[in-house]
């Protein structure tokens, strides 16, 4: 028993940091063997882990992700689920969701080994050996652009994850920052934030070129 605990502990590593390349790994999924991030080169993807199949909160999350799957695809973004359950368990659970809830899960689900989960920092020994609720948003170059980490007892807000993908795409393409609650911010509505000036001349020009509260707080409509 002690030896098993040591093996698990050795597989637990830190979560990839923002800007890091998503760890390369070959993974078994409900859609067959996949290579990440290679199989999604040129596309955004959201990888989300869940503690276990056949659990109530995780079931609500899978239904919620599926309900927004088309919205993710319109953003050229794919979804991938993950837990340490085996593929046959994933398949049976997906069948149950289709039969009982009339929702067909269309995205793949990874059957993670402890090594795979450990590479992503998804096992919290204080919570047992189940994977935690984590989210990785990865860009078309395979870089981790955002991470979210939830406790087991709290389900995720999928609309926020959609918003994050949209915001990161706008930021990457246009070189702007995204305000709180965008596109419904209390101060600037659906505008985006212009990066602060880095010299005096640019600071003076900013207030003439954009809508500004001050030279360091300028915004524009897209």
Query: Which amino acids are annotated catalytic?
Result: 58
User: Under a CB-based contact definition with an 8 Å cutoff, are residues 138 and 15 in contact?
Assistant: no
Q: How many CB atoms lie within 10 A of CB 26?
A: 11
The answer to whether residues 8 and 114 touch, using CB atoms and an 8 Å cutoff, is: yes
The token pair at 42 is: 């040129």
* Distance, CA of 215 to CA of 218 (rounded, Å): 6
Strands 44-49 and 77-83: parallel
CA pair distance 83, 65, nearest whole angstrom: 15
Contact 91, 30 (CB under 8 A): yes
89, 121 contact by CB (below 8 A) = no
Tokens of 120: 């992503």
Query: d(Cα 208, Cα 194) in Å, to the nearest integer?
Result: 13
CB-hemisphere CA count at 13 Å for 190? 4
**Nearest by Cα to 82 from 102, 55, 53, 56:** 53
């Amino acid at each position: 028993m002690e030896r098993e605990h040591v093996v698990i502990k050795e597989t637990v590593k830190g979560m990839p940091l923002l800007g890091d390349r998503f760890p390369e790994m070959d993974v078994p999924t409900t859609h067959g063997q996949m290579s990440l991030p290679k199989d999604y080169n040129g596309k955004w993807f959201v990888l989300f882990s869940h503690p276990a199949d056949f659990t109530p909160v995780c079931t609500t999350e899978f239904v919620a992700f599926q309900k927004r799957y088309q919205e993710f695809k319109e953003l050229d973004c794919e979804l991938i689920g993950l837990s340490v359950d085996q593929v046959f368990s994933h398949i049976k659970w997906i069948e149950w969701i289709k039969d009982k809830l009339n929702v067909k899960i269309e995205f793949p689900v990874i059957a993670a080994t402890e090594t795979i989960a450990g590479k992503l920092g998804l096992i919290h020994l204080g919570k047992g050996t189940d994977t935690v609720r984590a989210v990785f948003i990865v860009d078309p170059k395979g870089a981790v652009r955002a991470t979210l980490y939830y406790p087991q007892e709290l389900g995720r807000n999928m609309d926020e994850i959609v918003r994050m993908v949209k915001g990161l795409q706008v930021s990457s393409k246009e070189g702007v920052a995204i305000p709180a609650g965008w596109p419904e911010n209390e101060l600037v509505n659906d505008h985006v934030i212009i990066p602060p000036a880095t010299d005096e001349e640019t600071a003076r020009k900013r207030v003439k070129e954009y809508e500004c509260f001050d030279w360091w707080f300028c915004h524009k409509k897209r």
